Amino acid sequence: MRNTLHRTLWGYLLLLLGSCISACTSHDQREALEGLWSIDSFRVGKQDVTDCLWTSLIHLKSNAGCTFPKDPNGGPCAGLSSAGSGGWTVDEETKKLTIHAKQSPLFAGEYDVTFIDDTLKRMLLVRLTSQNRVITCRKGLFDYEQNRRLMQRIVKPRDIAPVKRPGFLQWDK
């Protein structure tokens, strides 16, 4: 009887702990995503569209709004469309980032999020991957030392690397 009670209590404790860790992880991910991001590379399919944008900043605001670069009319990216604003959410279960922007199919969609700790330049990077897009960005106005604990919670050990060359961030699917 006593043994069964101990197992039951341990089961509840592990369930509670697992729920807390899951909730903290999605909160940490949302906290890390909020702010200014500078686009290092942006691919749609096999096409690099990084140079098609007027600016290279994405701003994910704390109120769930977001702004992102507009594309110029004409040039090599004439078929792309970006209106410049929308909303964003992080799914609590899948941890996927969704950008809501009806007027901007270039950025709108659901993304897998991978955080990268660039130990050489002491920066937080993110890779956003969707079905046909890969966007890599670096976090702006980010105090690397003050946010070490946050980074330990969101960056997987395999994603800690000194980024020595620009091409490193341009992963192939």
Residue range(s) defining the domain that contains residue 80? 2-169
pLDDT tens by residue, 97-142:
999 887 777 888 999 999 999 988 899 999 999 999 999 999 999 9
Do 85 and 74 form a contact (C-beta atoms < 8 A)?
A: no
pLDDT at res. 112 = 95
pLDDT tens by residue, 149-169:
999 999 998 888 776 655 555
Q: Which amino acid is at 14?
A: L
- State the DSSP code for 72: P
pLDDT at res. 171 = 46
Do 90 and 134 form a contact (C-beta atoms < 8 A)?
A: no
Q: Which residue has the tokens 């937080």?
A: 124
From 85, 57, 83, select the one nearest 71 (Cα to Cα): 83
**Residue 77 pLDDT > 80:** no
pLDDT at res. 14 = 38
- What's the pLDDT band for 67 if we cut at 50, 70, 90? confident
- State the DSSP code for 53: S
Q: How much of the chain, in percent, has pLDDT values that exceed 90?
A: 39
Rounded distance, CA 66 to CA 48, Å?
Answer: 22
Indicate the number of domains in the chain.
1
Do 97 and 104 form a contact (C-beta atoms < 8 A)?
A: no
Task: Give the CATH number of the domain where residue 114 resides.
Answer: 2.40.128.10
Rounded distance, CA 112 to CA 100, Å?
Answer: 15
Residue 45 CB partners (closer than 8 Å, separation 6+): 132
pLDDT at res. 49 = 87
